[in-house]
Amino acid sequence: MAIHEILKMGDPRLLRIAKPVLAFNTPALDELIRDMFETMAAAEGVGLAAPQIGVDLAVVVMGFESNGRYPDAPAVPETILVNPVIEVLGPEEEEDWEGCLSVPGMNGVVPRFSRIRYRGFDAQGQAIDRIAEGFHARVVQHECDHLIGKLYPMRIRDFSRFGYSSSLFPDPATRPRD
């Protein structure tokens, strides 16, 4: 197990299209996923994608219980998602604040689709097929964007709502989670 350095925006490795995982239930994949959860927890993140630790594979991990800013948001279950595919379920969008471990110290308002279906595999190759909405759908879209070289600032439409966390949210308890 190891905590990895998280690459920051500007590193060209964050702009790659991640390669699909071809072999499941392998020690290498298990170790990658363990390291991703450990790195995410150390950084107090709610999600992490393999490209953020320099690994060019389509793997994301997520997990979220609750926080002050989203007291009513349903928890995002602890999820390993390999080779994910998102299907958008309707044109409705919603805006909310996001942060990213690869863009430390900043937050921005990002439009995301309200309702999605996502599919993929766990580390053993078992299929995952879920409908998600609201914050859960937002986290999935944010993390899967990392697999196509997109960081959330590239999705911002209104740059008057993008800035330093310490100025936008002087009270750290109200700061959006990355």
Counting contacts by CB under 5 A, is residue 100 touching Ni ion?
yes
CB-based contacts of 21: which residues, under 8 Å, 6+ apart?
29, 57, 58, 59, 82, 83, 121
Counting contacts by CB under 5 A, is residue 60 touching Ni ion?
no
CB of 50 to Ni ion, least distance (A): 12
Decide whether 125 or 163 has the Cβ nearer to Ni ion: 163
Q: What three-state secondary structure class fits 19? A: strand
Counting contacts by CB under 5 A, is residue 18 touching Ni ion?
no
Count, residues near Ni ion per rule CB under 5 A? 1
**Residue 28 to residue 100: CA distance in whole angstroms:** 26
Decide whether 26 or 96 has the Cβ nearer to Ni ion: 96
Question: Residue 96 forms beta bridges with which residues?
Answer: 110
Decide whether 57 or 100 has the Cβ nearer to Ni ion: 100
**Residue 108 to residue 116: CA distance in whole angstroms:** 21
CB of 154 to Ni ion, least distance (A): 11
Backbone dihedral angles phi then psi of residue 96, each to the nearest 5 degrees: -160, 170
**Residue numbers at the binding site for Ni ion (CB under 5 A):** 100
Question: Could you list the active site residues?
Answer: 143
